[in-house]
Structure 1
């Protein structure tokens, strides 16, 4: 895929084959071409193989990389096939009745499809050695956003008091970047160093951006997780991709997100014990319908945290963090 910038339209993505790559003076008038200086990056099966901002080049070899495009494609194909086999194995382990829950504090360890009507692969059927151990997140510290989130939570709990324990505490509110499986303490330390080392690259990626994450409207994952939709700044997804790629290259670290990335901030998540007690895992939309299209506010993208799952909270009430950067 080719990702490029057009005036008025912003960032656009099209297949590589959509363009002509010959000399423009010899092309017909109806041939699609773009000025080379507008190209931002090339991807192969979702992985960047050429990137202008970071000077990554596995296509032309201009950056002196030891991996050419054929080697990169072989590696990416192998990773995609490995992920396909892993998901197939998870599906085979799924409970027949589809009843599944995750006790993890972070909702992204739930393998949730983007179409709520489709039952996702259950986290409960995932082998222990495949489950996420950490996640990367932007901590939400905007008082405006937190206050608006608490109003939504209060409305949900008024409608159904049994969900009181399912509301995300303000100190824990965050926007997840990716889920990770980190092999051991050495890999945790290496992942922390990797996050710290990306700070200059992130600053460069976000240099011409306002860095604002705008929380607008309410949606759910399968009617079990209520979240605020996040409209990211233009460069946010590029920054997310940078972090994922750098962490994927760390030995002992694997990005475990199973579905397309949906920026969001969780407000209410039905836990397994509560679902059992109330005999339902679903959140009634009537509890938040009047606020469904509200704007909750803005959070500046100025921090990234490597957080541990199923660990005690820190002294500040946020997740226990292995590494944090601020920019």
Structure 2
């Protein structure tokens, strides 16, 4: 299970291997702020989470409702990706990235993962259509998966853009 402090919506994954590229990535995120605010036109982006799904029984996540807000989120994600590509930083880690809210993942239990143990669908079947609530997107973080996490369990954050 994910710790409460580590909940986040993953928009995309990228691989930045050189420390000097982190500064470029931070600049790209900051540059994206105006573009994102233009997409939102002063309106809140409120996402609904109407159930769960999984990635190959390795990750269980809360789905984002297929609605106008998700379409805006996709537009924001595409804008971010293009901004990072323009800076020659974005190397796609997973081409079919699906914005999602991770609830459980086997990566957190490598010993079990090595044994071929998966997260059995019977564990979360009753939540397939459970409404987990709504969340207003208020910021975008550029996080590192390699650096030590913060005390609350959230990823090390290189930069944050608050959405007005």
TM-score, normalised to structure 2's length? 0.87
Q: Which has the larger radius of gyration?
A: 1
Offset, 1:316: 4.3
Matched, 1:275 2:113: yes
Show CA shifts across 1:122-164 (max 9, x none).
xxxxxxxxxxxxxxxxxxxxxxxxxxxxxxxxxxxxxxxxxxx
Q: Is the 8 A contact 1:225 1:270 kept in 2?
A: yes
Offset, 1:240: 0.8
Show CA shifts across 1:40-70 (max 9, x none).
xxxxxxxxxxxxxxxxxxxxxxxxxxxxxxx
> Structure 1: where are the runs of 5+ without partners?
1-166
CA distance in 2 between partners of 1:175 and 1:267 (Å): 10
1:305-316 equivalence runs, <5 A: 305-316=141-152
Offset, 1:304: 0.6
Candidates 85, 91, 94, aligned match of 1:255: 91
TM-score, normalised to structure 1's length? 0.46
CA distance in 2 between partners of 1:208 and 1:303 (Å): 14
Offset, 1:269: 0.7
1:317/1:282 Cα in 2 relative to 1: closer, same or farther (>3 Å)?
A: closer
CA distance in 2 between partners of 1:317 and 1:226 (Å): 18
Give the equivalent residue in structure 2 for 1:323.
159
SS in 1 for 2:21: helix
Candidates 45, 48, 62, aligned match of 1:228: 62
1:183/1:223 Cα in 2 relative to 1: closer, same or farther (>3 Å)?
A: closer
Matched, 1:170 2:8: no
Matched, 1:214 2:51: no
Aligned length: 158
> Structure 2: where are the runs of 5+ without partners?
none
Candidates 109, 113, 124, aligned match of 1:288: 124
Candidates 185, 189, 193, aligned match of 2:19: 185
Q: Is the 8 A contact 2:8 2:102 kept in 1?
A: yes
SS in 2 for 1:178: coil
Offset, 1:208: 5.8
1:255/1:178 Cα in 2 relative to 1: closer, same or farther (>3 Å)?
A: farther
Over the aligned positions, Cα root-mean-square deviation in angstroms equals 1.7
SS in 2 for 1:214: strand
Offset, 1:315: 4.1
Show CA shifts across 1:91-127 (max 9, x none).
xxxxxxxxxxxxxxxxxxxxxxxxxxxxxxxxxxxxx
Offset, 1:309: 1.2
CA distance in 2 between partners of 1:289 and 1:258 (Å): 26
Q: Is the 8 A contact 1:187 1:250 kept in 2?
A: no
CA distance in 1 between partners of 2:93 and 2:116 (Å): 26
